[in-house]
Amino acid sequence: MESKLTQQVDKYRAVFGRTGGVVLVFEGKAYGWKNRLRDPQHEQPGVLAIDEHGNRWLAKGGDSYHGADRWEQIIDQVK
């Protein structure tokens, strides 16, 4: 799945000419871009934000009406 997600994010950046910032993904579909990680209340809990280096954050807390409370970075643990 990760490679499909990466491909989708790369495609979104190419189609819309976006560099830097973060691509927003919800339910496996890229839908938006922000110049920087901000405004979690504008996104639903469960939204992923992925930067051009592959760093990822997940919108957490809150609800779908009021938006998320915060962004939490997803840290991959290599074993």
2 has a pLDDT exceeding 80 = no
What is the per-residue pLDDT across 9-18, written as a single tens digit (0 to 9) for each?
A: 999 999 999 9
The helices-and-strands tally (H runs, E runs) of the chain is: 1, 5
CA separation for the pair 30, 50 (Å, rounded): 10
Total-model pTM: 0.90
pLDDT-derived band at 1, boundaries 50, 70, 90: very low
What count of Cα atoms within 13 Å lies in the side-chain half-sphere of residue 65? 0
Residue-wise burial string across 39-57, b where 16 or more C-beta atoms lie within 10 A, e elsewhere:
ebeebbbebbbbeeeeebb
Residue 3 pLDDT: 82
Segment 29-70, tens digit of pLDDT:
999 999 999 999 999 999 999 999 999 999 999 999 999 999
Q: Domain residue spans in the chain?
A: 2-74
